[in-house]
Amino acid sequence: MAKSNYVFTSESVSEGHPDKVCDRISDAVVDLYLAEDPVARVACETLATTNRIVIAGEVRGPGSLLKKVEEVAREAVRDIGYEQKGFHWATAEVAVHLHAQSADIAVGVDAAGNKDEGAGDQGIMFGYACTETPALMPAPIYYSHQLLKNLAQVRHSGETPWLGPDAKSQFSLQYRDGKPVGATSVVLSTQHSETVSQEEIRETARKHVLDILPEGWMCPEEAFYVNPTGRFVIGGPDGDAGLTGRKIIVDTYGGAAPHGGGAFSGKDPTKVDRSAAYAARYLAKNVVAAGLADKCTIQLSYAIGVSHPLSVYIDTAGTGHVDEDKLSDVLRQLMNLSPRGIREHLKLNRPIYARTAAYGHFGREPDADGGFSWEKTDLVADLKSAFGA
């Protein structure tokens, strides 16, 4: 039986965190290729350290784009805001080692004759939704993301110019009867200029925490930790090397739900690590939005070169109001869960991925140009109808 009274913690990292810098560059490369060729293939990995960026992986698309990759990487770093001695968008050394996609992978994945397009790899992907927040996301990761997004906004606007791009947040929330009721601790470590006092940083952080938390949820003063080490001037890839794909729990549900293990950033939507995780979130969110459950976990599994999912698992954690077996059948009817079906349903073959690299791939507002299409709740009416709700 699940515990109903407990403390649960999730963390987030900012767009300037070393790993997120790498995710952003890798996704910018994906966008570069998809903007030119919607069926391009990209598997891009990035490493960043002191004034050095290394980009490697496999691509299939217009050869002319390779010479634009360095420019795209520099623009991503510039947009994040790195103009520091140890990591500067204009002076960092950029090495590009992208090569053609393996022909063996292409044979298994590409559609041919009567064979539909297969999954780009084997693996398991999870989606999750719950009623804890308006975005139907777990509360600890939701507030962790929101704090860093707000701080990034005031940094970019110039309202708080002493903030640096690199930051981490962490919220521990008390749950009673399975629902969050307040924060037991809040942690923020944020890069800053040498001229600002720790007290000013603390009070600025307090204002933003109070802005995002529901009234009365603020943690005790002694559990409010802001820059616990006392100094965070050197940050970003100059302070710690970054790699694509190392923040997969930050990218999803903050540990409140299972994760299949595959990273998202740097991968085109034929890779089910990405597209099927988006589909699973889409379906789970629509189930909860339709009022069929208060929590919903969906697992999809695939084999490389095989078009249909090997399994579709649904768990509503005892909060469901409908039969889960029937729900699984209805969801399969409402959405084609083959790699091609997912891409077409969610319209994923577009340059919409650089924006996903920070502050979570889920719990975001759908964009007018198709970004975050997996956050739509356009299946609610069909789900209600199927169950007579």
Binding-site residues for ATP sit at 17, 166-168, 231-232, 240, 246-247, 263, 267
Rg for the chain, CA atoms, rounded: 21
In the numeric block, the tokens 């999750």 are attached to 128
Q: Give the integer Cα–Cα distance in Å for 57 and 66.
A: 12
Catalytic annotation present for 251 = no
Catalytic annotation present for 93 = no
Structure tokens at 257: 């739900």
In the numeric block, the tokens 């777990």 are attached to 138
* Residue in 11, 15, 45, 121 annotated catalytic: 45
Instruction: Note whether 232 and 192 are within 8 A (CB).
Output: yes
Instruction: Note whether 363 and 142 are within 8 A (CB).
Output: yes
* Residue in 11, 15, 19, 23 annotated catalytic: 19
Catalytic annotation present for 295 = no
Beta-carbon contacts of residue 177 (< 8 Å; ≥ 6 apart): 4, 5
Catalytic annotation present for 267 = yes
Catalytic annotation present for 273 = yes
* Residue in 8, 11, 15, 20 annotated catalytic: 20
* Residue in 247, 281, 343, 355 annotated catalytic: 247
Which residues make up each annotated binding site for L-methionine?
A: 58, 101, 240, 271
* Residue in 58, 75, 79, 116 annotated catalytic: 58
Catalytic annotation present for 215 = no
SS3 120: coil
Catalytic annotation present for 232 = yes
Q: How far is CA 58 from CA 42, 99, 100, 257, in A?
A: 6, 5, 5, 31
Beta bridge partners of 180: 175
Number of H helices, E strands in the chain: 10, 13
Which residues make up each annotated binding site for K(+)?
A: 45
Q: What is the DSSP letter of 237?
A: G
Catalytic annotation present for 241 = yes
Catalytic annotation present for 19 = yes
* Residue in 24, 192, 271, 295 annotated catalytic: 271
Which residues make up each annotated binding site?
A: 17, 19, 45, 58, 101, 166-168, 231-232, 240, 246-247, 263, 267, 271
Nearest of 229, 193, 185, 188 to residue 205 by alpha carbon: 188
Catalytic annotation present for 347 = no
* Residue in 36, 70, 116, 241 annotated catalytic: 241
* Residue in 31, 132, 268, 273 annotated catalytic: 273
Catalytic annotation present for 17 = yes
* Residue in 168, 208, 285, 345 annotated catalytic: 168
Catalytic annotation present for 117 = no
Instruction: Note whether 27 and 357 are within 8 A (CB).
Output: yes
SS3 91: coil
* Residue in 8, 11, 17, 41 annotated catalytic: 17
* Residue in 145, 267, 281, 345 annotated catalytic: 267
* Residue in 246, 343, 345, 364 annotated catalytic: 246
Which residues make up each annotated binding site for Mg(2+)?
A: 19
Catalytic annotation present for 375 = no
Q: Which residues are catalytic?
A: 17, 19-20, 45, 58, 168, 232, 240-241, 246-247, 267, 271, 273
